[in-house]
Amino acid sequence: MNDFLLAQMVAAERLPNAHESKAAVLAELKSSLAGASGEQRTAALLKRELDLPGETIFLSDVHIPYKEGTAQIDLLLIHEQMVCVLEVKNMVGEFYFDSINFQFHRIIDGRREGMRNPEAQLHRAVRAVSNFLGVSVHGVIVLASRSGKVVEAPKHYPVVSLDYLPFHLEQLMQGSNLFDARALASKLRGLPVRNSSRRWLERHNISFDSLRLGVTCPSCRTCSLDWRERKWKCVVCGFYSQDAHEVALQEYAVLFGDKLDTGLAYRLLGVENKYVLYRLLQGSAIQGDVRGKRQIVEDRQLLREYFGRIYR
């Protein structure tokens, strides 16, 4: 789970049903979860089945500078004999690639749905990787779902089913070492991490004040916990914990950044006593040089484990 997917999960859980963007957020989260599942299955299959000599490096969710913006890469394979961008699509239906107008649509349950063209997305990604690394790059559109069928194929890039992908990649081998795979991977890993959350929040008109605040009960997931007798307690289901607020701090960080104003911290955690707030933030949100400002200590794994139990 990258930060953007985590931000979608947080917003989906904390936005009230009456919010204007609630339905759109849930729909986008569903699509993102399907995409992430396809990418995970693709990476797992390749690590298990791909038979290439030497070391193969896989990088996921890479954002590479390209022209005035960035190109997002689902999965990037780096080997001493080839570099390949994998555009993973976990979709169902019949797929039609228009090689004249370079448009794309699918037919599902008798309905025609226009969508972003995977071939155009892949072409942009291949160009970005090639320009950034200064090497030749292959590209493949991967169908992660067995319920997807290509009726009209794209013109410039192959579409390969997930089951066939290892064999296809093995056929791309050059037979001689062309690249320093670790050096290329190191250059890519050195790129700054891109946070797509801010623009997404603005597009959906999501602010701190539009969210349900408080420390969410991980059992009920729809109500907030009360701090009583040095524990977080749920009056609905009886759940209790001493550190449930750690998830709330990470949720704030993934949405709005790691800088936390003390005034917002009271509202975020739902406490009023300054001594209680101090104890809760100690070690999790470090006091900054400026009075009333704290920095949340990043622990994304805590969020991944929390939402991993929800979205299995």
- DSSP string spanning 225-286? -EEETTEEE-TTT--EESSTHHHHHHHHHHHH-SEEEHHHHHHHHT---HHHHHHHHTTTEE
pLDDT tens per residue, range 245-301: 999 999 999 999 889 998 899 999 998 898 988 999 888 888 877 788 888 988 889
β-bridge mates for residue 162, sequence order: none
The CA distance from 44 to 48, in Å, is: 6
Q: Which domains does the chain have, with CATH numbers?
A: 3-189 (3.40.1350.10), 213-310 (1.10.10)
The dihedrals phi and psi of 229, each to the nearest 5 degrees, come to 50, 45
User: What pLDDT is recorded for position 284?
Assistant: 87
Strands 148-152 and 138-143: unpaired
Q: Are 11 and 201 in contact (CB under 8 A)?
A: yes
Distance of CA 293 to the CA centre of its chain: 29
Q: What is the mean predicted confidence (pLDDT) over 69-86?
A: 91
Average pLDDT value over all residues in the chain: 88
* pLDDT confidence of residue 176: 75
Per the structure block, which two tokens stand in for 126? 């291949």
Question: What is the reported pLDDT for 194?
Answer: 67
How far is residue 166's CA from residue 41's CA, in Å, rounded to a whole number? 13
What tens digit of pLDDT does each residue of 109-124 get? 888 888 888 888 999 9
Q: Retrieve residue 195's tokens.
A: 């946070």
Rounded to whole angstroms, the Cα distance separating 155 from 104 reads: 12
| pLDDT per residue as tens digits for the range 139-177 | 999 998 888 888 888 888 999 999 999 999 998 887 777
CB count, 10 Å around CB of 294?
Answer: 20
CB-CB contact of 66 with 72 (8 Å): no
The confidence score (pLDDT) of residue 22 equals 94
Tell me the backbone φ, ψ of residue 32, rounded to 5 degrees: -65, -40
The per-residue pLDDT for range 178-229, each reduced to its tens digit, is 888 999 999 998 887 766 778 889 899 999 999 999 999 888 887 889 998 8
pLDDT at position 88 over 80? yes
Whole-angstrom distance, CA of residue 200 vs CA of residue 25: 10
Identify the pLDDT of residue 103.
85
In DSSP notation, 53-73 reads SS-EEEEEEEEEEETTEEEEE
Task: Indicate if the alpha-carbon torsion angle 99, 101, 104, 106 is positive or negative.
Answer: negative
Tokens found for residue 153: 């194929």
Percent of the chain with pLDDT over 70: 99
